[in-house]
Structure 1
Amino acid sequence: MRRPFNPLSDILGSMTSLWSDLSLGVDEDRAPDAHQLQFEQAATAWPAALLTQILAAAMLLATAMTVGLHDLLAPIAVRGGLVVLLGVVALALLKLSAPRNWPPHIKVRLSLIYATGLGAGLFSMLWMTTHVSNGTLQLAGFVAVFGAVIVTAMALQALRAATLGYAGALVATIALHNGLGVVTSIAAVFLACLIIATSGLARLDRAQAEARDADTNDGNLALRLIREFEDHGSGWFWQTDRQGRLVYLSPQVANEVSTPDNEAIGAMLTAVFKVDSASPDTERTLGFHLSSRTSFSGYSVRAAAGGTERWWSISGRPILDGLNRFQGFIGNGSDLTEKRKSEAEITRLALFDGLTGLANRQRMRLALDQTLAPQGGGFGSPALLLLDLDRFKAVNDTLGHQTGDALLKQVSQRLLRSVGDAGLVGRLGGDEFQVVLPREANRDRLAELARAIIASLSQPYFIDGSSITIGCSIGISIAPVDGEDSETLVRNADLALYAAKADGRGIHRFYREELLHGAQNRKQLEDDLRNALPQNEFHVAYQPVVSTKSERIVGYEALLRWNHPTRGAVSPAEFIPVAEDCGLIEAIGEWVLRTACADAATWPRDIRVAVNVSPIQFANPALPAVVTNALARSGIRPDRLELEITEGVFLNNEDASSEQMFKNLKTIGVRLALDDFGTGYSSLGYLKKAPFDKIKIDQSFVRGAAVAGNRNAAIIKAIVTLADTLGMETTAEGVEVQDEIALIRELGCSHIQGYVYGKAARASAVLEQLAAKGGMATATGYRVSRSPRTKMLRTARVATEGIEGEVRIRNMSSTGAMIDGIEIDGEVDGIDLLIELLEGQMFPAKLRWAADGKAGIEFAQTFNMERLNPVAQAPAIRRSG
């Protein structure tokens, strides 16, 4: 809709525009506007304006001289000189470089001041001609001033203020020259039209200048933001031409990818950056997108020259002009270096052990899966070694976890040196390690490597001034015989490791099929064990404990028995370890304790009952409460209950907690016995603190104690002496032969327990046994001890009373042998003979009995059985390695 014409409003608008022009650019930070261009144009056109001013002054002087007005020459020359001087100054300012940088409003104001001064000078010259009647001089003055004003206005063409100033000067000149007549009115109308036109042009110029200023300011702001983003952020920008050559690249990236020989700007984009082919986001190459002119996003790239280890992510799109013509590519990028480092660190943490730097469980599983994969292309069958450190827990408990960590680091270094490039070494956690050998299935070489690893890891370690010695056990499985997948292979190696530990530790074992059967049987046993207590499959049997002095029964040991519905009787040695491993031992132990106390309540008041306590039960702070409850329910005195504790409690518990547990149990009033003495892992130091009432000598020291040449009797004597010194009783376990009773009594042991006085029986049989002979025990079984015999079938030469012959040895021990092939009539006991046990060596012996072609002989001296076949022992030693 067209705006209605309003002269007064337009005149006021022009005045406002004039003032806007005068105040334009007060903010020095604004970009140059139209006045800057006008300034440049004025500098070009001003010499002509200056020439016009000189001509105007010269013409007035010449006219005054011509008409004879010599009195006006001096004033005209002075005023003309001032006008020319102002023109020269203006020309100098326009040509100098410094004024070109002045703010626009300064230039506008200087132009207005100059226009006003120049107009005043020219007007004063013209004013002089109005007082002269000479028409020639008046006409000359008008022409000169008018020409100077017009040309100068042309030089200052776009400066509206200067134009209005000159126009006003002209109208004033006409009014002074002609008065207020028709000519002056016409000039005034023209001036009004000029004001209206000028005001419109001023508004238009103002709008255009503001629009240009806004665009310039927006552009400057965008440029500043881009520079700030490029200088301080991780992002950057790039642009190529139609051929794919870089025409712009953010400076910091350009410095990274440029080399002294090859600048990035001007080079092909594909020559500056290379794409990470391993990146999952990289579906196509950069060259493809540049040639097909298609957009791309999120490509991981690095410098093609390889001079930097930085990574970037770039995106780009084609740019088109107004006619949809392709002009090149434009895009942005961001720095991926820190992200890559973070991802690498995350990967390292996810696949490597943080303590030792070895591969962790996850990476070992991936490596094993890749090795077993058909596409792996490996030659040979992979093997897996599982390692477990022996006695490492003791290091952690005694020297602290910091020392334990340092030890694990040294172990990992030794393990790496032992394995070398043959396989991948990893730590599964704790003191468990794993080795994957991709192409090694030879058992001899695997055994050699295992022995080398064990020997290396068993050498002393020196940490913080301490010398530490540990061991190592290894289980080995080989694919595909021992498993075609990683899960099976690891399981079977673990079974082999378990077998190595069971066989004495510090050795290696290969997986065997029977190990799996044993594990499956153990698992089935565990499942059955969980149902045994609820289904009342357990019962308690009692074995008598007899005094060596009176041969009276003074107590019974409660022994747990399990009658399985299908397996029959299961040995405690088989199911007790399973119960401890699966967490059932506490419930079972509490049941045994309650049952034993309840049965003991039916016995005479002087008969004690002994109950075994597992180290797991002993570690439970609730044990005193369980014991107190069992005593309260049965009603027996606390001193009739004897708790048998093995040396394992000192290995598995802290000293402070063990001492407190002993104190709490003794406060109740029960007796404490140290079971299986001499077979544990502790030193004798705990005997100074633990308040034991009895030491039970393990049956391994009792059996064979009566056999000649055996050292067990000396060991028993030492234990009895120690116990007497500490005020403790002693019980010899596992006595089976009657001649051992006299020996045990002679050695000073206070009690005997074993098959010699009967096997363990149910509670009902205990009452019958106590009532039968008034509590006296009766010895049964073999009367005389003899050495263990080895079955064999070999020929030997014998000689007796001058007669020689050959016999066959059926079995043999260190003290005698049974032979056949000899016929002797009459009494034979005590007949001397010689027998060839070793080639060329005859040994003296006595004939003790003979019947049905068989005979028993007793050697005059104990014979070392190892001398029979020393060579045969070597393979057994090697196999145990």
Structure 2
Amino acid sequence: MLCSEAQKNTILKLLIVDDDDVDRERLRRMLLKSDIETDISEASSVEDSMMFLEDDEFDCVIVDYRLGLQSGLSLLNSIRTILDKRCAVIMVTGLGDEEVAAEAMRLGASDYLLKNQLQSSQLLRAIISSIQRAELEKKLHNMAHYDNLTGLASRPLLHEKLQHVITSQESAAVAFLDLDNFKPINDHYGHGAGDYVLFTIANRLNDALRKNDTLARIGGDEFVLLLRDMTEEQECDRFLERLIAVINAPIELVDFDCHVKVSVSIGIAMVTSDSIDADTILRRADQTMYRAKHKGNNNILFFDPEEEVRQLARKALLQAAEKGIQQGEFELYYQPQMSLQEDKVVGVEALLRWNHPILGHILPTLFLEALEHPSVGLVIGEWVIEEAIQQAKLWRHTVGISVNVSSAQFFAPDFITKLALCLEKNNDFLPALLTIEISENILLKNLQQAIKVAESCRRLGVSIAIDNFGADYASLVCIQDVPINKLKVDKKLIQHLPTSHKDKLLSSHLTTLSKALKIQLIAEAVETNEQRLALLKAGYLFGQGYHFVQPMNADKVTVWIQSRSP
């Protein structure tokens, strides 16, 4: 039996491609002899057949090897690569060439038949077998190349299409989209509602795209757009602004009788004639999207080559810092904190320094960002606290020690546990002599968590100081909420104090507030005696800076402290 009852009742759409009128008619008659109803179209060239294939779907294409000056192999290649069709393709030829047969199969032909031996039953068997094989391949292809939830392209298919665009040296843009604040929808309404939102967004985007564009979902709430024939950033920006409006429209959750709205962050990398490969373009768009996300909701950013250079430099610095920790390249310098009224040391701040074997002394401004990375910040942060305590013990409880803590270390789940263990191990050191300095930015990142960690430090007997107060945007309300002991006032509020009426007024109010809250004020970056006197007049009692002394290594600062001891 050549076909099942179900197949007999199916109308097969077939396309015969042959430049010989007689051969096309012969193939048509063979097909009409079968029990299966067919809908047959004919083309005499590659160009004609491409027009048919672009406008319609066929179950099977029967292609002659020789098509005038062209080869049926070129059509095979176009069906798979340009049109991305998964239909069955059978190649027929008057030549029994094994190399041609092998090349045809490699390019996606399901079968290879010789014209002079071809019978109606053989052709029908080949068609049915090829269609069945093509359907199975299509299912497997869809499983690998399409997203189950949305039906959109998945990463492998996107990668294929993008690589083809790059190889063809087409102009295009790749836009990486990440929905903002999508997690709360899942958390509040459940994953079913979250899936519905993703499905709705996918449909909206699909409807808004042009015919040749590709939309892929590559996981979670992340989508990627491949926008073909896109040459100008301004054109791309206008197009994506329209998509943002589509995404921002409210989505109705019927089961919850409510509407939700989502925003999106978009990073774009333009595909140009010198683009390297798909992975590089996708990585650039992805990294740019994260930069857009940091700027806030509904932001669009284009890839910046200079930013990539900076990222590579940061990565190299991070790797060097990790190695530097292992090689013992870091050390602590110390800057005394002084009474503004008399030449008396009231505390010392420990400052991290990096002595690179090749680059020499690396400025803190260059490597402090690396400390926010867990692989560096947590390890070196623990070392700094331990080293500072060991040094302070040598001063026999005469002065306290302050250490700066990065946000990565401060918000680490085991920070308090490790701090407690360190203090327990050094039980001959008074916890009250240790001050943990955090930046205003830490409060802005997560105020509630910062309050919890600060309270835990206080319970251990450790003081908390806000470093560079006034450099960022933490409000006085934050300062009131966080259990802090000290405010280290940034040089912005200090440097013009002798001559600025506004700064004098602000400093006066700040000292009044600190007294009311029982918070110690320490002026940073005191560089002149005029500043010292102005600070005293404003009500400050303590300060540090080059007017008193520059940071010194452990040996020098010990001598310096001893020279000022009674």
Normalised TM-score (structure 2): 0.68
The one-letter code sitting in structure 1 at the alignment partner of 2:426 is: R
Aligned to 2:37: 272
Q: Does the Cα contact within 8 Å between 2:322 and 2:375 map onto a contact in 1?
A: no
- Which has the higher mean CA deviation after the structures are superposed, 517-526 or 554-563? 517-526
C-alpha spacing 1:443/1:753, structure 2 compared with 1 (3 Å): same
Aligned to 2:388: 596
**Alpha-carbon distance in structure 2 between the residues aligned to 1:689 and 1:704:** 29
C-alpha spacing 1:661/1:770, structure 2 compared with 1 (3 Å): same
**Alpha-carbon distance in structure 1 between the residues aligned to 2:517 and 2:186:** 29
1:679 is displaced (CA, Å) by: 6.0
- 1:645 counterpart = 2:410: no
Q: Does the Cα contact within 8 Å between 1:607 and 1:640 map onto a contact in 2?
A: yes
Q: Does the Cα contact within 8 Å between 2:174 and 2:281 map onto a contact in 1?
A: yes
C-alpha spacing 1:398/1:686, structure 2 compared with 1 (3 Å): farther
The one-letter code sitting in structure 2 at the alignment partner of 1:554 is: V
1:567 is displaced (CA, Å) by: 1.8
Aligned to 2:110: 282
1:284 is displaced (CA, Å) by: 4.9
**Alpha-carbon distance in structure 2 between the residues aligned to 1:573 and 1:581:** 15
**Alpha-carbon distance in structure 1 between the residues aligned to 2:215 and 2:175:** 9
Aligned to 2:279: 487
- 1:766 counterpart = 2:551: no
Q: Does the Cα contact within 8 Å between 1:642 and 1:672 map onto a contact in 2?
A: yes
- Give 3-state SS (helix, strand or coil) of 1:757's partner: coil
1:561 is displaced (CA, Å) by: 0.8
**Alpha-carbon distance in structure 2 between the residues aligned to 1:705 and 1:466:** 53
Aligned to 2:156: 362
**Alpha-carbon distance in structure 2 between the residues aligned to 1:509 and 1:693:** 44
Pairing partner for 2:228 from 414, 432, 438: 438
1:33-92 per-residue CA deviation (whole Å, 9 max, x = no partner) reads xxxxxxxxxxxxxxxxxxxxxxxxxxxxxxxxxxxxxxxxxxxxxxxxxxxxxxxxxxxx
Pairing partner for 1:566 from 341, 354, 358: 358
C-alpha spacing 1:717/1:404, structure 2 compared with 1 (3 Å): farther
**Alpha-carbon distance in structure 2 between the residues aligned to 1:466 and 1:741:** 59
- Which has the higher mean CA deviation after the structures are superposed, 621-630 or 287-296? 287-296
**Alpha-carbon distance in structure 2 between the residues aligned to 1:738 and 1:394:** 54
1:419 is displaced (CA, Å) by: 5.9
- 1:426 counterpart = 2:216: yes
1:762 is displaced (CA, Å) by: 1.3
C-alpha spacing 1:238/1:405, structure 2 compared with 1 (3 Å): closer
1:368 is displaced (CA, Å) by: 0.7
Aligned to 1:385: 175
1:748 is displaced (CA, Å) by: 4.1
**Alpha-carbon distance in structure 2 between the residues aligned to 1:738 and 1:471:** 52
Q: Does the Cα contact within 8 Å between 1:475 and 1:498 map onto a contact in 2?
A: no
C-alpha spacing 1:437/1:536, structure 2 compared with 1 (3 Å): same
Aligned to 1:233: none
Q: Does the Cα contact within 8 Å between 1:458 and 1:469 map onto a contact in 2?
A: yes
The one-letter code sitting in structure 2 at the alignment partner of 1:673 is: A
Q: Does the Cα contact within 8 Å between 2:372 and 2:407 map onto a contact in 1?
A: no
1:622 is displaced (CA, Å) by: 3.1
**Alpha-carbon distance in structure 1 between the residues aligned to 2:437 and 2:167:** 54
1:685-731 per-residue CA deviation (whole Å, 9 max, x = no partner) reads 76566432223344444454555475x55655565555444433233
**Alpha-carbon distance in structure 1 between the residues aligned to 2:543 and 2:248:** 42
**Alpha-carbon distance in structure 2 between the residues aligned to 1:524 and 1:645:** 26
1:800-834 per-residue CA deviation (whole Å, 9 max, x = no partner) reads xxxxxxxxxxxxxxxxxxxxxxxxxxxxxxxxxxx
Normalised TM-score (structure 1): 0.46
**Alpha-carbon distance in structure 1 between the residues aligned to 2:186 and 2:548:** 43
C-alpha spacing 1:269/1:469, structure 2 compared with 1 (3 Å): closer
Aligned to 2:267: 474
The one-letter code sitting in structure 1 at the alignment partner of 2:226 is: V
C-alpha spacing 1:414/1:771, structure 2 compared with 1 (3 Å): farther
Aligned to 2:546: 755
Q: Does the Cα contact within 8 Å between 1:451 and 1:508 map onto a contact in 2?
A: no
1:489 is displaced (CA, Å) by: 2.7
**Alpha-carbon distance in structure 2 between the residues aligned to 1:628 and 1:611:** 15
- Give 3-state SS (helix, strand or coil) of 1:669's partner: coil
1:104-163 per-residue CA deviation (whole Å, 9 max, x = no partner) reads xxxxxxxxxxxxxxxxxxxxxxxxxxxxxxxxxxxxxxxxxxxxxxxxxxxxxxxxxxxx
Aligned to 1:174: none
Q: Does the Cα contact within 8 Å between 1:454 and 1:472 map onto a contact in 2?
A: no
**Alpha-carbon distance in structure 2 between the residues aligned to 1:735 and 1:660:** 32
Aligned to 1:733: 524
1:351 is displaced (CA, Å) by: 3.3
- Give 3-state SS (helix, strand or coil) of 1:691's partner: coil
Q: Does the Cα contact within 8 Å between 1:606 and 1:640 map onto a contact in 2?
A: no
Question: How does 1:279-428 map onto structure 2 within 5 Å?
Answer: 279=88, 282-284=110-112, 291=119, 294=122, 299-300=127-128, 313=132, 344=139, 347-348=141-142, 350-353=144-147, 358-374=152-168, 380-387=170-177, 392=181, 420=210, 423-428=213-218
**Alpha-carbon distance in structure 2 between the residues aligned to 1:678 and 1:351:** 53
**Alpha-carbon distance in structure 1 between the residues aligned to 2:272 and 2:292:** 19
Q: Does the Cα contact within 8 Å between 2:9 and 2:36 map onto a contact in 1?
A: no
Aligned to 2:458: 666
The one-letter code sitting in structure 2 at the alignment partner of 1:384 is: V
Return 5+ residue gaps in structure 1 as ranges.
1-236, 240-248, 259-265, 303-311, 315-335, 776-881
1:770-822 per-residue CA deviation (whole Å, 9 max, x = no partner) reads 233448xxxxxxxxxxxxxxxxxxxxxxxxxxxxxxxxxxxxxxxxxxxxxxx
1:604 is displaced (CA, Å) by: 5.1
The one-letter code sitting in structure 1 at the alignment partner of 2:379 is: A
What percent identity do the matched residue pairs reach? 25
Q: Does the Cα contact within 8 Å between 2:371 and 2:406 map onto a contact in 1?
A: no
Question: How does 1:88-237 map onto structure 2 within 5 Å?
Answer: none
**Alpha-carbon distance in structure 2 between the residues aligned to 1:701 and 1:416:** 53
1:621 is displaced (CA, Å) by: 3.8
1:551 is displaced (CA, Å) by: 6.2
1:442-474 per-residue CA deviation (whole Å, 9 max, x = no partner) reads 344345556666788789999986887856353
Aligned to 1:518: 310
Q: Does the Cα contact within 8 Å between 2:177 and 2:264 map onto a contact in 1?
A: no
1:365 is displaced (CA, Å) by: 1.5
- Give 3-state SS (helix, strand or coil) of 2:418's partner: helix
- 1:541 counterpart = 2:333: yes
- Give 3-state SS (helix, strand or coil) of 2:334's partner: strand
The one-letter code sitting in structure 2 at the alignment partner of 1:626 is: K
Q: Does the Cα contact within 8 Å between 2:527 and 2:547 map onto a contact in 1?
A: yes
The one-letter code sitting in structure 2 at the alignment partner of 1:693 is: N
C-alpha spacing 1:654/1:741, structure 2 compared with 1 (3 Å): closer
RCO comparison, higher one (Cα < 8 Å, 6+): 2
**Alpha-carbon distance in structure 2 between the residues aligned to 1:477 and 1:347:** 28
Q: Larger Rg: 1 or 2? A: 1
1:397 is displaced (CA, Å) by: 11
**Alpha-carbon distance in structure 1 between the residues aligned to 2:126 and 2:493:** 78
**Alpha-carbon distance in structure 2 between the residues aligned to 1:470 and 1:671:** 41
Q: Count how many residue pairs are aligned between Structure 1 and Structure 2.
A: 479
**Alpha-carbon distance in structure 2 between the residues aligned to 1:701 and 1:473:** 38
1:485 is displaced (CA, Å) by: 1.9
**Alpha-carbon distance in structure 2 between the residues aligned to 1:720 and 1:629:** 36
Aligned to 2:103: none
**Alpha-carbon distance in structure 2 between the residues aligned to 1:349 and 1:386:** 23
**Alpha-carbon distance in structure 2 between the residues aligned to 1:401 and 1:702:** 52
The one-letter code sitting in structure 2 at the alignment partner of 1:511 is: D
What is the alpha-carbon root mean square deviation over aligned residues? 4.7
Q: Does the Cα contact within 8 Å between 2:9 and 2:37 map onto a contact in 1?
A: no
Return 5+ residue gaps in structure 2 as ranges.
13-30, 40-58, 62-86, 89-107
1:650 is displaced (CA, Å) by: 5.7
1:555 is displaced (CA, Å) by: 1.1
